Amino acid sequence: MSHPRLAAPPAEPPTVGVGDGSNAVIASQPSIERRSLTVLSGHVLAAAWIAGAALSLSVLLVGFVRLGSITSRSERLVQARWAEMAVDISRAYRLRRPVLLLTTDHPALLVTWGMARPEVILPTVAREWTEDRIRVVLSHELAHVWRGDWLVQTVAEVLRAIYWFNPLLWIACRRLRHDSEQACDDAVLSLGTDAADYATHLVDLARVFNERRRVWLPAPSVARPSSLEGRIRAMLNAGLNRRPLTPSVRLAAVSALLGLTVAIAGVGISAQTASATFSGFIVDATGAIVPAVTVTLAHDGQPLLSASKPLNIRFSKAHVRDVLRFFAKPTGLNISYDAGVPDRVITIELDGVTSQQALDDIMAVSQLSYKVLDERSILVFPDPKNVKHEARTDAAGYFQLGDLPAGSYVLQIRQAGFANLLDTFTLSEGQAVQRTIAMQVGSLQETVTVTDRDYPGIPAVSALAPPTRSQPCTGSGGGGHISPPTRIRDVRPEYPHFMGDTGIEGRAVVQARIGIDGFVKAVRAMSQVDPNLANAAIAAVSQWQFTPTLLNCVPVEVNMTVTVNFRSGH
């Protein structure tokens, strides 16, 4: 009779429901609560970012709609002196795009916007301005057109709306507006305008506009109060270099910005689409975390082999020596190889190991994949995707597997004393899956062999002294601590006496459950065998008694499978 041992059940392994989370168990340990709080905080922050970006973009969109509405209600300015002055200044800036001059009834509105066909919107009172003021205003506004400030500032505002939480972008946008206004001031002065006269016109315009209700629009303004003082100070400084950037410097700056943008975009795309992650917690049936558990992911999709016969392995673009090295891993395999065979075939003689078990062990340690040709032949070829991904849970029972390509996976968790856990699920590009997985205590395996000549003389019942524990069971910080049951009352199955001369043999497989009190219950036969042999096995197993199985010092029920081999001595 073999000693009892905890092992995985041979069939119907428990699943974790990775795809739907239906069987997930939420542990109550503080460490898991902290990590769950971290995940929740991440979701809250993401929701806050999305809400803030949506609000900021909405405000920006409202500004564009308002600007379009004002433009549609504006009238074209057709005075000769305005038209002649616009042509002269455009020629000075070498502008090729026509600029449309419009007037609006709003007394405090002076903006320039548009890219393909720029438009300058002026208050109605501009019809009465002097030629000096007309020249100053048009020189400043057409400088914005020449520099392309409206497009640059629009892109900056969109970025600020998306990344509204970043104070650097707010600072950068404000600095961009200030620098664009100052650059246009320099352009006006470069056309020969006196700095003092220009400053006087700006102050007068700012005073008039500030007496009226201002309207926020996503477009540059000539007399923005927040930057006016610094601009006047700069334009009255005769020592400043007011020459514009040369075309080569502009090209270099644009190229650098484009390179930086592409690099950042590439990083973002790579982070979003290159890999997926699978993480979570491992707990036992009591909800306690289980550290030092190995979690394995392997690619799914390989068909199963049905035969337990010699397996012929053919190769495609794979080195035979590498395949031999991997195929020698499983025990019980007899490998024969002939280097002179043209089609490069390896035959594996299987001894008590099914073809599928052998292949699972092989593929778990190799970077190979295979295709089934028939029930006895497979084609092996290199496959970088067929890589086993492993992780171990930390002290908090947490594991994480990253850099996973999209595809179907087989999840396998093995831990001494627990039932093997197997499940399949699919990961898409960039997906992050987190689960809490509960492991169940493994089943007890017993094997007994009896013959028709064991009787009389062997007592049917034997009482075993219960084991003494050196120390009382005390809880620890983690979970997964199993104290296996010990049999304290043994009843040997008896070969039926009335069948002694028949020579009938058989293997009776019996499943039962050991309760938290150590008594055996729910005994039933699981194999097709002579009913008399099955009843003899059930009658004996039903009378067994064990010490309770303890999980973290808590009694738990455990499944048991007993195999009784009935042999004839004739």
pTM for the model: 0.44
Of 48-52, 166-170, 260-264, 514-518, minimum mean pLDDT range: 260-264
Residues 92 and 215 reside in one and the same domain: yes
Looking at residue 329, its pLDDT comes to 43
Contact 277, 28 (CB under 8 A): no
- Look up the CATH number of the domain holding residue 295: 2.60.40.10
Looking at residue 3, its pLDDT comes to 41
Nearest to 407 by CA among 437, 431, 390: 431
Residues 81 and 148 reside in one and the same domain: yes
Q: Tell me whether strands 482-483 and 294-299 are parallel, antiparallel or unpaired.
A: unpaired
Tokens for 6, please give them: 């905890």
Contact 524, 498 (CB under 8 A): no
pLDDT, the chain, mean: 74
Q: Does a structural domain hold residue 202?
A: yes
- Give the Cα separation of 272 and 274 in Å (integer): 6
Looking at residue 408, its pLDDT comes to 83
Q: Which residue is listed with tokens 């991904």? A: 389
End position of a domain, from candidates 378, 411, 438: 438
CB atoms within 10 A of CB 354: 16
End position of a domain, from candidates 195, 228, 244: 244
HSE-CB of 80 using CA atoms within 13 angstroms: 0
Highest mean pLDDT among 172-176, 457-461, 511-515: 511-515
More confident residue, 296 or 514: 514
Tokens for 238, please give them: 């005769």
The model's confidence at residue 525, banded by pLDDT at 50, 70 and 90, is very high
Q: Does a structural domain hold residue 249?
A: no
CA distances from 80 to 75, 83, 281, 286, 429 (A): 15, 5, 78, 89, 63
Residues 197 and 286 reside in one and the same domain: no
HSE-CB of 108 using CA atoms within 13 angstroms: 14
Within 36-158, strands assigned E span 75-76, 100-104, 111-113, 119-123
Highest mean pLDDT among 61-75, 197-211, 320-334, 464-478: 61-75
Q: Does a structural domain hold residue 252?
A: no
- Give the Cα separation of 48 and 42 in Å (integer): 10
Cis peptide bond upstream of 456, omega within 30: yes
Q: Does a structural domain hold residue 262?
A: no
Residues 200 and 345 reside in one and the same domain: no
Mean pLDDT of 143-154: 90
- Give the Cα separation of 493 and 562 in Å (integer): 11
Looking at residue 297, its pLDDT comes to 84
Residues 373 and 510 reside in one and the same domain: no
Q: End-to-end CA distance of the chain, in Å?
A: 21
Residues 180 and 218 reside in one and the same domain: yes
CA distances from 402 to 34, 78, 151, 271 (A): 21, 66, 40, 12
Q: Does a structural domain hold residue 501?
A: yes
Tokens for 31, please give them: 């460490």
Nearest to 202 by CA among 179, 234, 229: 229
CA 139 to chain centre: 54
Contact 378, 357 (CB under 8 A): no
Counting DSSP H helices and E strands in the chain, the numbers are 11, 27
Mean pLDDT of 31-49: 66
Q: Is residue 24 predicted with pLDDT exceeding 70?
A: no
- Number of structural domains (the chain) is 3
- 368 has which bridge partners? 382
Query: What percent of the chain has pLDDT above 70?
Result: 61
Taking every pair of C-alpha atoms in the chain, what is the biggest distance, in angstroms?
131
Looking at residue 562, its pLDDT comes to 94
Q: Does a structural domain hold residue 265?
A: no
Tokens for 99, please give them: 């600029």
Mean pLDDT of 173-193: 87
More confident residue, 248 or 273: 248
Q: Does a structural domain hold residue 303?
A: yes
Residues 172 and 158 reside in one and the same domain: yes
Q: What is the pLDDT of residues 480-507, one digit of tens each?
A: 889 999 999 999 998 888 876 777 888 9
> 148's torsion region: left (phi>0), alpha (psi -120 to 50) or beta?
left
State the SS3 of 393-446: CCCCCEEEEEEECCEEEEEEEECCCECCEEEEEEECCCCEEEEEEECCECEEEE
Q: What is the pLDDT of residues 90-121, one digit of tens each?
A: 999 998 888 999 998 887 788 888 888 899 99
Mean pLDDT of 391-402: 91
Q: Is residue 86 predicted with pLDDT exceeding 70?
A: yes
The model's confidence at residue 159, banded by pLDDT at 50, 70 and 90, is very high
More confident residue, 450 or 475: 450
Contact 220, 149 (CB under 8 A): yes
Residues 287 and 360 reside in one and the same domain: yes
Residues 114 and 150 reside in one and the same domain: yes
Residues 311 and 340 reside in one and the same domain: yes
Residues 287 and 330 reside in one and the same domain: yes
Looking at residue 472, its pLDDT comes to 60
The model's confidence at residue 23, banded by pLDDT at 50, 70 and 90, is very low
Residues 419 and 478 reside in one and the same domain: no
Range of the domain at 152: 74-244
Kindly compute the dihedral angle of the four CA atoms of residues 421, 426, 427, 433, in this order, to the nearest 10 degrees. -50
Kindly compute the dihedral angle of the four CA atoms of residues 71, 72, 74, 79, in this order, to the nearest 10 degrees. 90
CA 272 to chain centre: 9
CB atoms within 10 A of CB 131: 11
In the DSSP assignment, the letter for residue 127 is: G
Q: Does a structural domain hold residue 212?
A: yes
- Give the Cα separation of 62 and 161 in Å (integer): 13
